[in-house]
Structure 1
Amino acid sequence: MVKERISAADIAGLNFETTLGAVPYTGYPLFSSPDAFAFSLRDAGFDIFFQANNHALDRGRKGLERTIDQLDSMGIKHTGTFRTEAARSLYYPLMVIKNGIRIAFLNYTYDTNGLPVKEPNKVNVTDTNLIIQDIRHTQLYKPDIIVAQMHWGEEYRTTPSFEQQELADLLLSHGIRIIIGHHPHVVQPIVTEKKEDEIQRVVYYSLGNFISNQQRLHTGGGMLAEIVISKKDAVSPVVIEKCDYLLVWVQKRMNNGKVHFSLVPSWEADKQPMGEEDKQKMDKFVEDMESILQQEL
């Protein structure tokens, strides 16, 4: 059911917070996932993988380059990490044209967990001067709208930090209209700016988790950002018609001595096989998320 929602989107993107670094496959703190993981995400309907995050270098240069190569071989669009500066110059920003709308995607991370980016590789690490330069370069492509995917903030904090808000203000003031954040592993508020009841700009400070096995409070799920944009004709500006969210929760069940993970959509939870205890857990999660999203900043 989550797959149906994702596949129905004209464009679906995700924060790909792992590497395809080949065997041995590893989890935290240095991730390397099977190639099948990326195949499954693609088959679920995701079109774009955003790779600028703090785990991009978990398998070093070989892991970064193999991830790029595998995504290319699967026909998956991606951005945020690059083999060389020349590749970055050629492929950044990521431009996507859909239904006559030219969309530019930018992607940055606050850090790479202290692991150095070794030449000739490039990872988009947050630097305000670089970001402003990139935005100006992006505007030369005449995009109808620019979307920034930001790996930022403090882990497990349900309100955006001062630094997040300051950086969001900078991005918005330089022409970004949609910001989607991740890294805190918990949901943070959505802020929309309207003029005469029309949405001008929006910031999803943090989507929380999608699929994870984290145990901390509020990490048992997250949200999908559902944004609708339109354009009347070739010369009209893009209109942000809707900025919505869909909550998902990770159900964990034991089967034959193994833990099985299921992503449960809150909007169709009644269709999922679920015991009373799990139902109560999910209801509590949804209640908490709604409370977090109602916060005034």
Structure 2
Amino acid sequence: MVKTFLQGVAVAGLLGGAFFMFNIPSRTVDVVVPLQETLAARAEIIFGGDMMFDRSVRTAMEENGADFIFSCIDPVLQGADLVVANLEGPITATSSRSVGSALGTPDNFTFTFPTSIARLLLHHRIGVVNLGNNHIENFGFDGVRSTIAALKNAGVAYFGDPLRHAVAEREVGGVKLTFVNYNEFTSTPLGASGAASTTLSQIASERAAGFIPVVYTHWGVEYATTSSAYSRELAHRFIDAGAELVIGSHPHVVEEHELYTGKYIYYSLGNFIFDQYWDDDVRHGLLLDVVFGRAGVESVKEIPVELGRDRRTCPVE
């Protein structure tokens, strides 16, 4: 609320042929100004890579409490308005098949996360998750539906699900953002090219609707530290279509980034919450602290992280 002060003024005139003069006293008028007009729009979003809450990560949560795996990185996450990351598997009530399984067997790569995970995510500021990846259908469409129900119940938004390929629109700090997925490994009949067409269409329509589109992809080659030519070509098409920022996942290692026509492309952020430790590349990931204004990205800060063998993710000092 802004108070406008009107100073007293003298007014003179004629009334019935007689001259008169009087003063209008000073007064204060309350003028209501919308908050968004008095404060600059600003949204600080942290983006993370792949999150997996099964295998030995699930065991660590059961032994130490679910919050344990976030205990080291949580002060970083709590400093943001919102955290966005890739949920690399479904949330179901089904018992784990991967806990205790032999390395390299099919069960070792079949993930399901406890139903408590959705609320755990929100507790640690992760309010939007990508579901467009190669593990979300590990328990079929029933697992996808179970995941969506758990996320909705906890108040966590999602995008990229294989049922509707939904986008997630969020207004944060007066900034209208939308999160759009591209999944190279989609199970739909049209495959990767069809998924790309859908993503390009969603980018354009969301930009036309007044939202700032952020594209979060699942693409590339696992454990390759350099992006593929296909990913680079497609990332440029996403930017040309109106994407403000492109962020990649799936390789489980950090890949290069670039500025294309003034827009950032991070081809892979690597692991965020995972149990891979065999070399430095898989043990180290990247968080991105991105500040948005109404016109788009204002700043990008890289936060290197390391996966500990105790299953906690910590910032690299």
Contact 1:212 1:221 in 2 (8 A): no
Identity over aligned pairs, percent: 26
If asked which structure has higher relative contact order (CA below 8 Å, sep 6+), I would say 2
C-alpha deviation, 1:82, in angstroms: 5.6
C-alpha deviation, 1:208, in angstroms: 0.5
CA gap 1:124/1:8 in 2 versus in 1, 3 angstroms: farther
TM-score by length of 1: 0.73
The residue correspondences of 1:208-227 to structure 2 (distance < 5 A) are 208-217=270-279, 218-227=281-290
Q: Which residue matches 1:273? A: none
Residue 17 (1) aligns with residue 79 (2) = no
Residue 95 (1) aligns with residue 169 (2) = yes
Residue 67 (1) aligns with residue 147 (2) = yes
CA gap 1:202/1:185 in 2 versus in 1, 3 angstroms: same
Q: Which residue matches 1:110? A: 184
- Secondary structure of 1:207's counterpart equals coil
Q: What amino acid is aligned across from residue 33 of structure 1 in structure 2? A: F
C-alpha deviation, 1:192, in angstroms: 2.3
Q: Which residue matches 2:76? A: 5
Residue 153 (1) aligns with residue 216 (2) = no
Q: Which residue matches 2:300? A: 243
CA gap 1:124/1:39 in 2 versus in 1, 3 angstroms: farther
Contact 1:224 1:247 in 2 (8 A): yes
Deviations 1:172-213 (CA, angstroms, capped at 9, x unpaired): 11111201100000001121247xxxxx31011100011222
Q: Which residue matches 1:172? A: 239
C-alpha deviation, 1:250, in angstroms: 1.4
CA gap 1:170/1:230 in 2 versus in 1, 3 angstroms: same
Residue 266 (1) aligns with residue 307 (2) = no
CA RMSD after TM alignment: 2.3
C-alpha deviation, 1:117, in angstroms: 5.3
- Secondary structure of 2:272's counterpart equals coil
- Secondary structure of 1:210's counterpart equals strand
C-alpha deviation, 1:125, in angstroms: 8.2
Q: Which residue matches 2:127? A: 47
Deviations 1:237-270 (CA, angstroms, capped at 9, x unpaired): 33x2211211111121xxxxxxx32222113xxx
Instruction: Name the count of aligned residue pairs.
Output: 236
* Larger Cα-atom Rg: 2
Structure 1 moving runs of 4+ over 3 Å = 123-126
Match of 1:129 among 197, 205, 214: 197
CA gap 1:124/1:73 in 2 versus in 1, 3 angstroms: farther
In structure 1, what is the Cα distance between the partners aligned to 2:315 and 2:129?
A: 21
CA gap 1:204/1:264 in 2 versus in 1, 3 angstroms: same
Contact 2:74 2:124 in 1 (8 A): yes
Deviations 1:24-67 (CA, angstroms, capped at 9, x unpaired): 12333211111223322221111101110011100001101000
Residue 205 (1) aligns with residue 267 (2) = yes
In structure 2, what is the Cα distance between the partners aligned to 1:129 and 1:262?
A: 38
Contact 2:254 2:269 in 1 (8 A): yes
In structure 2, what is the Cα distance between the partners aligned to 1:111 and 1:22?
A: 25
C-alpha deviation, 1:126, in angstroms: 5.8
C-alpha deviation, 1:226, in angstroms: 1.0
Q: Which residue matches 1:230? A: 293
CA gap 1:139/1:177 in 2 versus in 1, 3 angstroms: closer
- Secondary structure of 1:40's counterpart equals helix
Contact 1:57 1:117 in 2 (8 A): no
Specify every segment of 5 or more residues in structure 2 that has no aligned partner in the other structure, as ranges: 1-71, 99-107
Q: What amino acid is aligned across from residue 158 of structure 2 in structure 1? A: H
In structure 1, what is the Cα distance between the partners aligned to 2:237 and 2:260?
A: 15
Deviations 1:266-291 (CA, angstroms, capped at 9, x unpaired): 13xxxxxxxxxxxxxxxxxxxxxxxx
- Secondary structure of 2:148's counterpart equals helix
- Secondary structure of 2:311's counterpart equals strand
Deviations 1:77-114 (CA, angstroms, capped at 9, x unpaired): 1111164x5xx5xxx432111121111110121115xx
Contact 1:108 1:125 in 2 (8 A): no
